[in-house]
């Protein structure tokens, strides 16, 4: 499970910002959402959400974690030797001259790890990896440009991997491509992170192709067969009260084919009658569920991390609540998968949907200052009372992170 993510100098996140999934200790002691995890003394949370005004930097937090993930997976095999590091620093001069830094702390199979790196436009400046087997810290890797220090507890082809690690690539990325078995578990943790967006495209043929592409990809299908996937998909759609009772794929006639040879059909029940509709005829909410379903099932099966930008896009608040409950429930989520998402949906802060679906320590905000720099901070900084209406407090500006609305001049419309 992800414990903490730190980032510095990525887009509007100029100064170091930290997001933690650690339980603050607030709330009902009988709350089943915090998870006791072997290898870490503080219970961890399965869900965190980031609120903020448009362009406040909340999506940049997700972007930063995704950049770190892609750097680990692709820097060795996809980044060209002479193209530097494709980072996205703070756009003004003070950011362009400084390195960008990324760090995660997580638990995998009972051991805590801390991994991070700093990079400028040209090279990796620093890279480090620490482990806590049996709760005792071990230094596995410390890198300063092309100088490497390997700890005694890091076994394997360290020197041969070092020789093939370019200045603009990560040692961890090179190690994964060169069969460094001891580091494979750490690499897999990054590889299993899935980043997606709830918003889709308006192209009427896009949704069928996207959905079919997702369920055909080995990375999303190798752990469950298609029949099981369809069964689970129908269960999700029924739980969301979409009216869908079955889903099937049908082969299109060659003259009708576009980029996919198949199309999606969904069966609806109405009293004693049923009918099949094309995916393109479904509501945007149903399409959104179909878009994120493969990723959703994958992380629940693996116990990994799902990152969703704009969860509320085309989703009724009750549908978003359904997704949250999948992760918050120990019965549905026994492998402790985690969800990190951004949203503007304030219903999730209040009691409109019943009991508050989010704990206070699951709620974060972003706010941008006059210099264009974003700050990430938790709701718990404000120490809200247990009886406090969080939705009302947020909309009233009590916690910041809302847009400043200036006067609208009538002349703008003439």
Structure confidence by residue, pLDDT tens digits, 81-103: 989 999 999 998 788 999 999 99
Q: Are residues 271 and 335 in the same domain?
A: no
Model-level pTM? 0.89
| pLDDT for position 223 | 39
Please list the alpha-helical segments (H only) found in 20-82: 58-74
Q: Are residues 132 and 42 in the same domain?
A: yes
Q: Are residues 281 and 325 in the same domain?
A: no
Do the domain assignments include residue 414? no
Do the domain assignments include residue 407? no
Q: Are residues 137 and 227 in the same domain?
A: no
| pLDDT for position 217 | 44
Q: Are residues 185 and 96 in the same domain?
A: yes
| pLDDT for position 254 | 54
Q: Are residues 177 and 284 in the same domain?
A: no
Do the domain assignments include residue 411? no
Distances (CA, A) of 274 to 214, 251, 277, 285: 27, 21, 10, 20
Q: Report the alpha-carbon distance of residue 236 to residue 411 in Å, rounded.
A: 49
Do the domain assignments include residue 402? no
Structural domains in the chain (count): 2
- Domain containing 16 equals 2-193+304-395
Whether the CA torsion 156, 161, 167, 169 is positive or negative: it is: negative
| pLDDT for position 122 | 97
Q: Are residues 319 and 364 in the same domain?
A: yes
Residues of the chain with confidence (pLDDT) below 70: 26-27, 199-226, 251-262, 314, 353-354, 404-414
Distances (CA, A) of 51 to 177, 300, 352, 380: 38, 24, 18, 14
| pLDDT for position 405 | 55
Do the domain assignments include residue 404? no
Q: Report the alpha-carbon distance of residue 361 to residue 390 in Å, rounded.
A: 12
| pLDDT for position 222 | 42
CB 268 within 8 A of CB 277: yes
Do the domain assignments include residue 21? yes
131-190 per-position pLDDT tens digit: 999 889 999 999 999 999 999 999 999 999 999 999 999 999 999 999 999 999 999 999
Q: Are residues 220 and 181 in the same domain?
A: no
- How far is C-alpha 150 from the geometric centre of its chain's CA atoms? 31
Do the domain assignments include residue 127? yes
Q: Are residues 216 and 80 in the same domain?
A: no
| pLDDT for position 288 | 83
């Amino acid at each position: 499970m992800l414990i903490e993510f730190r980032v510095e100098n990525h887009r509007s996140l100029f100064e170091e910002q930290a997001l933690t999934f650690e339980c603050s200790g607030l709330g009902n002691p009988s709350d089943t959402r915090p998870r006791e995890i072997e290898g870490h003394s503080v219970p961890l949370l399965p869900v965190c959400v980031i609120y903020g005004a448009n362009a406040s930097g909340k999506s940049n937090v997700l972007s930063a974690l995704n950049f770190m993930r892609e750097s680990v997976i692709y820097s060795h095999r996809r980044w060209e030797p002479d193209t530097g590091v494709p980072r996205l620093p703070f756009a003004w001069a003070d950011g362009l001259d400084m390195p960008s830094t990324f760090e995660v702390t997580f638990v995998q199979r009972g051991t805590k790890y801390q991994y991070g790196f700093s990079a400028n436009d040209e090279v990796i400046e620093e890279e480090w990896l620490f482990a806590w087997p049996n709760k005792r810290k071990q230094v596995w890797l410390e890198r300063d440009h092309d100088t490497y220090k390997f700890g005694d507890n890091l076994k394997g082809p360290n020197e041969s991997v070092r020789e093939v690690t370019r200045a603009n690539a990560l040692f961890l990325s090179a190690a994964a491509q060169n069969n460094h078995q001891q580091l494979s578990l750490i690499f897999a943790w990054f590889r299993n992170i899935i980043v997606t967006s709830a918003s889709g495209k308006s192209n009427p043929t896009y949704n069928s192709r996207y959905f079919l592409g997702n369920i055909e990809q080995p990375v999303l299908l190798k752990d469950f067969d298609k029949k099981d996937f369809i069964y689970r998909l129908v269960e999700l759609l029924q739980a969301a009260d979409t009216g869908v009772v079955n889903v099937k794929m049908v082969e299109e006639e060659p003259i009708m084919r576009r980029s996919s040879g198949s199309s999606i059909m969904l069966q609806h029940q109405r009293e004693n009658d049923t009918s099949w509709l094309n995916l393109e005829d479904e509501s945007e909410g149903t399409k959104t569920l179909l878009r994120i379903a493969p990723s959703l099932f994958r992380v629940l099966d693996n116990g990994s991390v799902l990152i969703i930008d704009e969860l509320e896009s085309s989703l009724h608040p009750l549908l978003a609540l359904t997704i949250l409950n999948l992760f918050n429930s120990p019965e549905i989520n026994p492998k402790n998968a985690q969800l990190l998402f951004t949203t503007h949906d304030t219903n999730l802060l209040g009691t409109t949907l019943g009991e508050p679906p989010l704990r206070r320590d699951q709620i974060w905000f972003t706010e941008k200052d006059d210099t264009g720099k974003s700050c990430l901070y938790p709701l718990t900084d404000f120490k809200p009372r247990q009886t406090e209406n969080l939705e009302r407090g947020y909309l009233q500006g009590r916690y910041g992170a809302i847009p400043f609305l200036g006067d609208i001049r009538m002349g703008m419309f003439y």
